[in-house]
Chains A and B, each alone.
Chain A
Amino acid sequence: MSAPVAAGLASYLGRAWGEPVVIEALSRISGGASRETYRFDALVGGARRPLILRRDPPGSLIETDRRSEFLALKSFHGRGVAAPEPLILEDEGAELERPFFIMARIESGAASSPFAPDPYAPHAAALGADFFGTLGRIAGADTATLPLAEVCEAPALDACWRRELDYWSGVIEADEQHPQPIVRAAIRWLRRHPPPPAAKLGVVHGDYRSGNFLHDAAGRMTAVLDWEMVHFGDPLEDLGWAMDPLWSHGETDRVAGLLPRAEAIAVWEAASGLNFDPAAFVWWELFASVKGQAIWTSAAKEYRDGGYREPILCFSGWYTARRHDEILAAKLSELAA
């Protein structure tokens, strides 16, 4: 069998751990478009270690820093957030040819599709409390004390919004292939109506949403996944993304398909120790959809530039882009009323 990943892992881990390693049950996990993710078992010293490999792809949907993701796991593993244990970071790629990191595999739980109808019933309420409570604990963490502080810039409280908006509007400017009047109108609205300064500088997971966590089908989150867009910023950024209608499974009465909006906010406030500012949140909710549209715009470009090879990029650049146009138009309509 031609299995360069397995052979590369065996060689690399053998060097890293100083004893022979056998790789078994290697298989790629579907979903993420920004990293190749594999599950595998490493047999070493008579023990079987269940692990996850996250490797940079040849082309990526999102330009992210694997070191940030690794340090995010290090910042939160064992600290009240179900973050997998990070184990090895390899920036050069070595035997695997592209940079990667390895983390412990959490065996309990599964992820749900963000587009499946009502995937969390009948435990949605309990899971929602865990989901928004966990987000609150991430938001409430003291950024200065975390390993993430090694790599994350700390913007001024009144600069968080501008940094994010500049970045994502720049992505649209660079990658747009067909004119997008709706998202451009939203970007201009955001520039004309800046939010108040962040209440605190917090860790922003960057992609905290339905579908990006494992759960035990009994109301408990077992792992928070996909930290590749982590940064320091306004904690309302994550809340806006988590509550974006794209991730609500078509429901209008529960955010993320989990909790009524007011309950989700109350849980987040209690866990974060922060006060929810409805006026500021109007800005961050609209921004979330702009950010989404920027990601899908990049996906469409990547799909074309990459020779139409990745169906997930096609789906992202097509279906989700159109959904976000609907969501943005509805939000603009409310704001213009």
Chain B
Amino acid sequence: MTPSVREVLQGVAIALSTPPSADAGLAFDASRMGLAASLAMMAAAEAERAAAAAIAENADIRALFAEASAHDPAGELAAAARQADTDLDTPALDAANARLRRQLIALHERVEAANDAGFERKIVALYVRMAEGRRMALGLG
């Protein structure tokens, strides 16, 4: 996902180590530090759950692919559905997620072209779960 927890914390570190600007003034720098602090806390929450969220989302997408035989002429989705996440490092999970999401986009386009309203509702229900699974709370949440 973008940005990654590592990238968020890189930004926090840069914000903390950047000298205040003479032009900006205390209020601006205080606000910037406050935002950086919030991002650090959000990153802490994300670090605890990002891998689990990615694994759950990937499994959910694969489960949908397993039901998509009517829209899987080349059998690519069935093949993807048989896979599982074995490398649990976040970059590997994100890379797998990116592949699955690209396949999901192509599947949805085929479903729309076929006017399969029933399967489209399944895809949209998956979108709702995906978005809920990645939900973030502000600040300390």
Contacts and interface: CB of A to CB of B under 8 A. Distances in A.
Interface string A168-195: 0000000001111110110010001000
A178 B2 contact: yes
Contact of A336 (B7, B38, B104, B117): B117
B130 A318 contact: no
A311 interface: yes
Contact of B11 (A303, A326, A330): A303
- Interface size class on chain A is 35 or more
A27 B24 contact: yes
B131 interface: yes
Contact of A300 (B3, B10, B12, B23): B3
A182 B39 contact: no
Contact of B14 (A180, A308, A329): A308
Interface string B101-141: 11011001100100001001101110110111011101000
B128 A330 contact: yes
B31 to A, nearest CB: 4
B82 to A, nearest CB: 21
A28 B125 contact: no
Contact of B39 (A1, A177, A185, A311): A311
Contact of B105 (A28, A181, A303, A337): A181
A30 B2 contact: no
B35 interface: yes
The secondary-structure label for the interface of chain B is helix
Given A181-B127, A325-B131, A325-B134, A317 B3 contact: yes
Contacts of B127: 181-182, 185, 328-329, 332-333
Interface string A296-315: 00001001100111111011
Nearest to B99: A179
A26 interface: yes
A323 B42 CA distance: 14
Nearest to B28: A28
A84 B76 CA distance: 58
- Interface size class on chain B is 35 or more
B63 to A, nearest CB: 15
B74 interface: no
B49 interface: no
B21 interface: yes
Given A304-B7, A319-B138, A27 B32 contact: no
B35 A312 contact: yes
Contact of A178 (B12, B23, B25, B101): B101
Contacts of A185: 105, 108, 123-124, 127
Given A27-B26, A185-B127, 11 more contacts: A27-B25, A28-B23, A178-B2, A181-B101, A184-B108, A319-B136, A323-B136, A329-B127, A330-B131, A333-B127, A336-B117
Interface of B: 1-3, 7-8, 10-12, 14-15, 18, 21-28, 31-32, 35-36, 38-39, 42, 94, 97-98, 101-102, 104-105, 108-109, 112, 117, 120-121, 123-125, 127-128, 130-132, 134-136, 138
